[in-house]
Structures are given as structure tokens and as C-alpha cells.
Amino acid sequence: MIKIFEMFSGYGGASFALKKAGIKYKNIGFSEIYQAAIKCFNTNFPHVKNFGDCSKINPNELEDFDLLTAGFPCQPFSEAGKHKGINDTRGTLFYDIIRIAEIKKPKYMVLENVKGLTFSNHTNTLKTITDEINRIGYNFKYRVLNSRDYGTPQSRERVVFLCAQKSLNKVIKFPEKTPLNLFLKDLTLKDVPKEFYLKPSHRKFVKDLFPTKDLLNQDHIISVAIRNKNRAKHQSKGLKYGAFPVELHLRFNRDYGVSYAVKSSRHEYMISDMNLNGIRYLTPEECFRLMGFFNDEIDLSSISKTAKYKLAGNGWDINLFSQIFSSFLT
């Protein structure tokens, strides 16, 4: 049985992934400060202690464990952030992972972040991270993985670090890529409330931005990227600023049935194009399906709609990580 400690746990993606992989495990605790995430974790995994702010954890108060997992804060390295890297106060939380691992010495660590961590402007940050992992006695490999290459119909790229104690002499393996045989259309709900559909004036705005012939092409999945600017452009279209909270930049995914990456705000979510009059936001439940919960295995009843979007956008694709755990731990 694998004993796991989840840092920056979110909704408990690592625990869900272990369960999906069929690996016997015991969660000895988690570390999370976002209240909605704590509620969701406790709903799905009752009686597991939250140790709260990781910077205040005394490692000696933790039960021994085999696996440390952490999706440490990604904003310092994100394309959407300011790229401050390890100098961002959120980036320095990485050192709390190192501090705890150095004392508790788990056999394995699985760490995750946005692919921006591997960009050239973060070369020094990446070297600092890998040097620290090596210093405290771990062999490791890291790789940028895309969910779509492992059976999840979402183009979501994340860098994953697999770390094993040097004394184990373990061969570190990433999972083999798998064919995509599940598509966005397989995960969408049949009866979606009207609140998720664009109003006629909004649809007109979308049509003005992109040629109708493109919108009507059934082989396209429409996604929406958001920018908080160009108020004048809204007004020139006859819309009050706020009719759409932000400017829309629509893109078309010509790989039918694969969504763009799930984001952490409703207004950053993909618009699913069933037909021109049926353009809508994905529901929170659909977003969680795109995070590997193909059969709605997570109980979201304790949190708000806004929180559901945020947790989905910041969470782990449990389908991908179930394969990572199967390859790495077994």
C-alpha cells in the first residue's frame, strides 16, 4: 500500500488518480488553503487531515509516507502570469516541498506545473528546481505531457517531474502514449440549462468576429481566449462593456473532438459549437469530465459553480495521472 501526502492538493487529483489506477493507497494528509478545494476534498475523502499552509507545516508532525505529490503554484511560470518564476513569492513555495521531502524522505515524488516552466526565460528557475531535487537525494526525469496523447480529449500540456530516491535504483518510466478514442462529443451533457448559451446579441458579436462559414463548419470546436482590453471594440459593436465581460478571441480546433485546455474561470472556457444557434459555455460538470472524470466520479455538491470552474482549471487530469502512477509506481 502506498502512503501519500498531497501538497497543493486542490480537489485531490492525486488520490483520484491512484484510485482510478487501481493502486491501493492511504492518504495520510493534504495541504491546501483554498476553502472550496478543502470542502471538495473533505466531501470526497472524509477523515483526511488538512495541514493547511504548507509553509507552516512541521514535517516531524507528519506520519511517514511513500509518495509526495504537488502541483505547486503555476502562476510564476504561466503564460497568463507575469513570468517572475522562482522570484515570485508563490514560486518560493517550491522550497517547502523540498524542506518536507528532505526530512520525511518519501520514496517517490510526483510534481506538476505548467509547461511555461520549461521555457527559455525560466532556464535558471528550472535548474534551481532540478538541482534541489538532486541535492536531497533523488533521481528524476521530467517531461512535458499533453492530456490528448493519453486518452483525454483536451489539449492540456503540463510538465511532470518523476522523482525516486537514489538508493532505490529505480528505472523511471513515463507512460506510453495511447490512442484517443473518447471525444468532446462523448462527454457533453444532453440537456444543458439556457444560462450556458449565448444570448442572441452575443451570438451576433461572435458572427461579426468570424466568418459564418467557419462557425457553421461542424468539424470545428470553438474555443475562447480572453483579454481584459479593447473596450472600444466592444462599444463599436454596439455592446456595453460587460455584455461580454472581456474581449473574445475565438480560435478553431481542426482536430475534431479535442477541446482546448480547461481554464480556471467560466469566461475562459471553451465554447462548444453544436450549431450556430447553440454556442455555449461548457458546464462545470463537462469541464471535470475533461479532467478525466469520465463517469462523474467526483462529488461537487459542496462548492459553488464559480469554484467548480476554478478547481477544474487548476486541477490534475486524473486519467493522465492514473497512467503516470501505473507506469512509475508499479
CA distances from 150 to 156, 182, 259 (A): 11, 10, 14
C-alpha to C-alpha distance for 58 and 36, rounded to whole angstroms: 24
Q: Where are the alpha helices (DSSP H) in 22-136?
A: 35-44, 94-104, 123-135
* Contact predicate 294/286, CB 8 Å: no
Strand partners, 108: 67, 164
b/e sequence 121-157, b meaning 16+ C-beta within 10 Å: ebeebbebbeebbeebebbbebeebbbbbbbbbbbbe
Q: How far is CA 22 from the centre of its chain?
A: 21
Q: How far is CA 101 from the centre of its chain?
A: 23
C-alpha to C-alpha distance for 156 and 115, rounded to whole angstroms: 9
Residue at grid coordinates 444570448: 199
Residue at grid coordinates 461542424: 218
Residue at grid coordinates 484517443: 180
C-alpha to C-alpha distance for 41 and 9, rounded to whole angstroms: 8
Give the active site residue among 40, 54, 74, 163: 74
CA distances from 54 to 73, 100, 150, 170, 313 (A): 12, 9, 31, 28, 21
- 74 catalytic, yes or no? yes
Q: 202: Cβ–Cβ under 8 A, 6 or more apart, which residues?
A: 243, 244
Catalytically active residues, by annotation: 74
